[in-house]
Amino acid sequence: MTRKNRILISGWTAAGKTTHARLVAAELGWTYIGMSHVMKEFTAIKDLRDWTPQQDQLRRSDRSIDLKADDHLLEVVSSSSSIIVDAWLQPWLYRSSSAIRVWLDSSRSARAKKCTVSYLRDQNLMPERQAANIVHDKDVFAREQFARLYGIRFGYDPALFDLRIDNSTYIADTSISASDAGIREFQPVLMRRLEFLLESARGGEE
């Protein structure tokens, strides 16, 4: 069995990919890299936030941005080990069996709450309905963009992913305290599942 020394985390908008990928990397002592940081470089948008609507406007008008960013991240993943990757498409684009592929599920209502809290953390107030619209629009854009560029039907694929795990119930309301509590509660659940997969892979090498 091929050694599993990469973890690729995917999921819909505001599912919690970045937050939990960073926490997993910290707990395992592995390197973290996220597509949000890469995309900021390739769109040259100077903003403290990981994502802005302007990024998707640029990507819609110039599809080469996605191709270049995806190729760059794929090169990083291919040349690295002990790495946690938070990126929509890497589970599809990185074809080696050396990765554990994780689909992070979260309901639309939970993702709207998490999006609202993300803006609160930046001291920006946003109605949850508006956040839900942002999440919906970004989902639609991503689905259409990936289909156009790669012919990929984005979403959970049981033939591709090693782990599907849902964190929908871990955010009680749209407050930073509720979000932090949910993150603390869900993270050990995710880590137990990942550690089991890593240990199973190590056992298969013997």
Q: Has residue 84 got a pLDDT over 60? A: yes
The two beta strands, 31-34 and 163-166, are: unpaired
Q: Are 73 and 87 in contact (CB under 8 A)?
A: yes
- pTM over the 0.85 mark: yes
Per-residue model confidence as pLDDT tens digits over 160-190:
999 999 999 999 999 999 999 999 999 999 9
Per-residue model confidence as pLDDT tens digits over 113-145:
999 999 999 888 888 999 999 999 999 999 999
CA distances from 154 to 84, 148, 157 (A): 20, 11, 8
Q: Has residue 86 got a pLDDT over 90? A: yes
- Mean pLDDT, rounded, for 96-121: 96
Residue with tokens 């554990």: 100
Nearest of 82, 80, 84, 55 to residue 69 by alpha carbon: 55
Per-residue model confidence as pLDDT tens digits over 10-21:
999 999 999 999
Q: What is the pLDDT of residue 141?
A: 95
The residue with greater pLDDT, 97 or 122, is 97
Q: Has residue 205 got a pLDDT over 60? A: no
The residue with greater pLDDT, 119 or 25, is 25
